[in-house]
């Protein structure tokens, strides 16, 4: 009589499941950069692009609504006084990140003051 029972209970010819390997942060950054370059060349239509409308801010209006002089406003929020004057007089305009900050100051000055107080 031939013994047909198997001694081991492991299935035959079943490959072991390898854990999925996640790409490194560097590899994901490189992939994103490659996608961005392809998108600028018009080669990649399915790239995800997020456009943000940066608000226009009337700096003088924000400052006067707060009841502050140019010097007080500049000191309180860390702007050079000459730059603030140039914005208000139309000789220059704040860049996009500064306009975002000014919009936050216009709506929630206490939040910006709190952050600046904790940073110093």
Nearest to 57 by CA among 107, 91, 111: 107
Determine, yes or no, domain membership for 4.
Answer: no
Number of domains forming the structure of the chain: 2
List Cα–Cα distances, 107 to 34, 44, 77, in angstroms. Answer: 38, 39, 14
* pLDDT of 58 strictly over 60: yes
pLDDT in tens, 59-110: 999 999 999 999 999 999 999 999 999 999 999 999 999 999 999 999 999 9
- Do 33 and 79 belong together in one domain? no
* Share above pLDDT 90 across residues of the chain, in percent, rounded to a whole number: 56
- Do 87 and 110 belong together in one domain? yes
Contact (Cβ atoms closer than 8 angstroms) between residue 60 and residue 74:
no
Q: At what angle do helices 96-107 and 109-119 cross, to 10 degrees?
A: 110
* Share above pLDDT 70 across residues of the chain, in percent, rounded to a whole number: 82
- Do 74 and 43 belong together in one domain? no
Average pLDDT over the chain, rounded to whole? 86
Phi-psi region of 78 (alpha: psi -120 to 50; beta: other; left: phi over 0): left
């Amino acid at each position: 009589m031939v013994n047909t029972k198997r001694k081991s209970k492991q299935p035959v010819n079943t490959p072991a499941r390898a854990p999925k390997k996640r790409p490194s942060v560097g590899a994901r950054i490189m992939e994103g950069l490659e996608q961005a370059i392809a998108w600028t060349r018009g080669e990649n239509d399915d790239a995800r692009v997020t456009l943000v409308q940066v608000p226009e801010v009337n700096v003088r209006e924000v400052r006067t609504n707060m009841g502050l002089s140019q010097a007080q406003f500049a000191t309180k929020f860390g702007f050079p006084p000459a730059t603030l004057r140039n914005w208000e007089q139309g000789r220059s305009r704040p860049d996009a990140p500064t306009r975002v900050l000014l919009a936050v100051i216009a709506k929630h000055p206490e939040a910006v003051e709190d952050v600046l107080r904790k940073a110093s």
